[in-house]
Chain A
Amino acid sequence: MNEIRVPFLGDGIDKVIVCHWHHKPGDVIAQGEDLVEVEADKAIFNIPCEHNGRLTKILIAQGQGALIGQVIATVENT
């Protein structure tokens, strides 16, 4: 099981808002494909999936906050 975490986005940015999931649990996702958009300050950042796999769990819903480094989803290898 692979964990998808909020990456480092810059000094002083310690949290983001999850804006839009591009996929739902069960979807098969290719490595490098956009998985989720998060917002920090006035920037939307697309977090890509780092693995080929199937999205198993979304842990942070749209509109909710997440800290930098926090696990927001899990992807199992296919």
Chain B
Amino acid sequence: MKCSIVDLGLIDYQDAYRFQKETIQKVLEDTNSRLLICEHRAVFTMGRKADEKFLLVHPNDFVQQNISVVRVDRGGEITFHGPGQMVIYPIFDLNAIKDLRIFLWKLEEVVIDLLRYFGIVANRQKGYTGVWVGEKKIASVGIGVKKWISYHGIGLNVSTDLRFFSMIKPCGLDVVMTSMAQELGQVVDPAKVKEKLIEIMASEFKLEIIP
């Protein structure tokens, strides 16, 4: 599968969302997949079925801290995106797979392999999506699919300020979040994480990286 890498850098969630929608159209036109990588300013996002009871503080508190709350067309409950979290949006042509569960499994596998490379043992938890280090969650996974082109994706906590997660019930669960920096006890170079992520993603999805 041909795929180009698009590094969006630090970008507002809504701008990245619009970019994803535009990119879906491009993939439908030329069938070349795109891997979008970025980081968001602080934002809470809620999936289609997400329950507002999982916001644990009053919405005014978010306004005071300049954090927005956005409802989006992905699966899953509420989650947080912010600086230090690597957000990966695979806008992939899934027509050769046509299987949501396999695609989600592969995305999780990419994160597990990536974390293993950096010395972190991570796994899946039965009945839940995402990637976990013991009982702590380190990466959230939630996707949308339109005409078998995927959007949304993975939020991997590289050095995220984990205090933001205490303002919500992440994914509707009583879950403790963690990050690569917390697990390793030191700061991780995001450029190295990005480089390795692309390599592992290319291997897992048999991507031919194009300019």
Write the residues of chain A forming the contact surface with B, with a CB cutoff of 8 angstroms. 8-13, 17, 19-20, 32, 34, 37, 39-46, 48, 63
Q: CB-CB contacts of B40-52 with A at 8 A, as 1s and 0s?
A: 0000000111000
Asked if B76 CB lies within 8 Å of chain A CBs, one says yes
Cβ contact of B146, chosen from A11, A17, A20, A34, cutoff 8 A: A34
Residue interface mask B47-85, A partner, CB < 8 A = 1? 111000000000000000000000001111000000000
Check if A45 sits within 8 Å of B101, measured CB to CB: no
- Whether B102 contacts A44 by the Cβ 8 Å rule is no
Structural contact, B129 and A42, CB atoms closer than 8 A: yes
Q: With an 8 A cutoff between CB atoms, is B1 at the interface?
A: no
CB distance from A42 to the nearest CB of B (A): 4
- Chain B residue, CB-CB nearest to A45: B145
B22 within 8 A of A: no
**Chain A's nearest CB lies how many Å from the CB of B108?**
10
B residues 94-114 in Cβ contact with A at 8 Å: 98-104
Q: Please name all residues of chain A whose beta carbon is closer than 8 Å to the beta carbon of B170 when the two chains form the complex.
A: none
Residues of A within 8 A of B102 (CB): 10-11
Interface of B is mostly: mixed
A44, closest chain B residue (CB) = B144
Q: Cα distance A68–B171 when bound, in Å?
A: 25
Chain B residues, CB < 8 A from A13: 100-101
B143 A44 Cβ-Cβ under 8 A: yes
Q: What are the residues of chain A within 8 A of B152 when measuring CB–CB?
A: 44
The answer to whether B48 touches A20, judged by C-beta atoms less than 8 angstroms apart, is yes
A10: contacting residue among B47, B98, B146, B147, CB under 8 A: B98
Chain B residues positioned under 8 Å from A46 (CB to CB): 144-147
Q: Is B139 an interface residue (CB 8 A)?
A: no
- A40-B100, A43-B75 given. 7 additional CB < 8 A pairs? A13-B101, A41-B104, A43-B142, A44-B152, A45-B100, A46-B144, A46-B147
Say if the beta carbon of B87 comes within 8 Å of chain A.
Answer: no
- CB-nearest residue of chain A relative to B99? A10
Given contacts A34-B146, A46-B145, A48-B147, contact A41 B100 (CB under 8 A): yes
